[in-house]
């Protein structure tokens, strides 16, 4: 929790700006699973075709409802059990994350945005800061292994565990599996395009920084750590509409990106703006002078200006104005 002046009874200073990023097609041109396929000689197109066919196959086998966003996790585990992804564990996933290609300007642009939030004397006086978060339906271990990881303050993504605890594991302490020799066996955490909104509310209420605050707790907006109006959400497409909607609804800023030169992706994000889903969009190009660079740096500066202005007013209201000489 930052120091400085805090209005009486207020839980947080609300001087934090949060930039929340999707990962695949937002920070990297493709899907992060590509290095896995390359390592094990698997046809990625065939894998994804099988994933797309799984919901119908699950229903044929008796399932009534299937989570389309997460079904690929099961298929990865199926490939592990079949020996195709032989030796795939979290350590290897982190190693493969280092192979992920990032869009131009990354990860340096993360430092640029953080610098904008502290670039003005008034910003520093009010201890304004900027935090980066990743909220993705991809794999946390791969994001942790990528060049982005050192610049982020938190990651919400899918996680695997190596070796399921056996029945009675609480009664009889079981040894940990040897590091590097185990394989992923179970899904520990899954996030889909709808539950991404929960992550945003966790950032909003501060539960990621103060675990004793429950995300379902009733917290008034003045007492939340990162107001939605201090948020910028950056993503690539229609699957992010639930988060776009929440952030827009509460006064945050939303921005969509597309691959340079890809007309279909351009039309997709253009449609999102026409529908009022996002405020603006630009190429997934984070180098100085690009539209995306300028829009995001300007948005951070505008939010920082508003935070400083609001805090100046709050200080004046709480402390009272000094008397002034009357000039006739």
Note whether 143 and 157 are within 8 A (CB): yes
Q: 327: which residues sit within 8 A by CB, 6+ positions away?
A: none
Burial class of residue 167 in the structure, from the number of CB atoms within 10 Å of its CB (0-12 exposed, 13-18 middle, 19+ buried): exposed
pLDDT in tens, 184-231: 999 999 999 999 999 999 999 999 888 787 777 778 888 889 999 999
Residue 5 confidence (pLDDT): 46
Nearest to 296 by CA among 52, 114, 169, 74: 114
Q: How far is CA 165 from CA 85, 158, 171, 179, 195, in A?
A: 22, 19, 11, 16, 26
pLDDT in tens, 224-233: 899 999 999 9
The CA distance from 9 to 11, in Å, is 6
Q: What angle do CA 10, 13, 15 make, to 5 degrees?
A: 155
Residue 1 confidence (pLDDT): 39
The CA distance from 51 to 77, in Å, is 12
* Complete DSSP assignment for 25-48: TTTBSS-TTHHHHHHHT--HHHHH
* Complete DSSP assignment for 111-166: HHHHHHTTSSHHHHHTT-EEEEEEEEEEEHHHHHHSTTGGG-SEEEEEEEESSPPP
Peptide bond into 316 cis (omega under 30): no
What H or E segment, with its residue span, contains residue 272?
Answer: helix 263-274
pTM confidence score:
0.90
Mean pLDDT of the chain: 90
Residue 9 confidence (pLDDT): 54
The CA distance from 87 to 182, in Å, is 7
Give per-residue burial for 279-291: e unless 16+ CB within 10 Å, then b: bbbbbbbbeeebe
Nearest to 291 by CA among 264, 266, 268: 266
Domains of the chain, residue spans:
16-319
Q: Are strands 154-161 and 186-189 parallel, antiparallel or unpaired?
A: antiparallel
pLDDT in tens, 149-180: 999 999 999 999 998 877 777 776 666 655 55
State phi, psi for 270 to the nearest 5 degrees: -60, -40
**Cβ atoms within 10 Å of 78's Cβ, excluding its own:** 13
Q: 177: which residues sit within 8 A by CB, 6+ positions away?
A: 162, 163
**Tens-digit pLDDT profile for the chain (328 aa)?**
344 445 545 667 899 999 999 999 999 999 999 999 999 999 999 999 999 999 999 999 999 998 888 999 999 999 999 999 999 999 999 999 999 999 999 999 999 999 999 999 999 999 999 999 999 999 999 999 999 999 999 999 999 999 887 777 777 666 665 555 689 999 999 999 999 999 999 999 999 888 787 777 778 888 889 999 999 999 998 889 999 999 999 999 999 999 999 999 999 999 999 999 999 999 999 999 999 999 999 999 999 999 999 888 876 655 555 555 555 5
**Cβ atoms within 10 Å of 69's Cβ, excluding its own:** 17
Helix (H, G, I), strand (E, B) or coil at 321: coil
Note whether 243 and 223 are within 8 A (CB): no
pLDDT in tens, 138-149: 999 999 999 999
Superfamily of domain 16-319: HAD superfamily/HAD-like (3.40.50.1000)
Residue 12 confidence (pLDDT): 72
């Amino acid at each position: 929790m930052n120091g400085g002046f805090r209005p009486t009874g207020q839980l947080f200073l609300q001087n934090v700006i949060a930039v929340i990023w999707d990962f695949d097609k937002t920070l990297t041109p493709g899907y992060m699973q590509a290095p896995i396929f390359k390592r094990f000689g698997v046809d990625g197109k065939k894998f994804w075709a099988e994933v797309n066919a799984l919901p119908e196959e699950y229903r044929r086998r008796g399932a009534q409802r299937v989570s389309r966003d997460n079904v690929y996790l099961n298929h990865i585990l199926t490939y592990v059990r079949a020996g195709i992804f032989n030796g795939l564990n979290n350590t290897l996933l982190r190693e493969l994350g280092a192979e992920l290609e990032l869009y131009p300007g990354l990860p340096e642009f993360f430092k640029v945005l953080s610098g904008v939030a502290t670039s003005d004397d008034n910003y520093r006086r009010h201890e304004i800061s900027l935090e980066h978060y990743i909220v993705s339906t991809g794999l946390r271990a791969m994001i942790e292994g990528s060049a982005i990881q050192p610049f982020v303050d938190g990651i919400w993504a899918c996680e695997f565990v190596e070796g399921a605890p056996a029945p009675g594991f609480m009664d009889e302490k079981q040894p940990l599996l040897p590091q590097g020799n185990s394989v992923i066996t179970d899904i520990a955490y899954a996030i889909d395009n709808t539950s991404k909104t929960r992550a945003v509310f966790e950032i909003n209420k501060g539960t990621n920084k103060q675990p004793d605050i429950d995300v379902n707790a009733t917290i008034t907006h003045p007492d939340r750590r990162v107001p939605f109006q201090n948020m910028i959400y950056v993503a690539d497409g229609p699957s992010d509409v639930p988060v776009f909607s929440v952030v827009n609804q509460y006064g945050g800023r939303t921005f969509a990106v597309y691959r340079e030169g890809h007309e279909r992706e351009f039309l997709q994000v253009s449609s999102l703006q026409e529908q009022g889903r996002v405020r603006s969009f630009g190429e997934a190009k984070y180098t100085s002078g690009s539209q995306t660079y300028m829009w995001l740096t300007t948005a951070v500066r505008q939010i920082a200006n508003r935070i400083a202005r609001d805090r100046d007013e709050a200080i004046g209201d709480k402390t009272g104005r000094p008397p002034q000489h009357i000039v006739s």
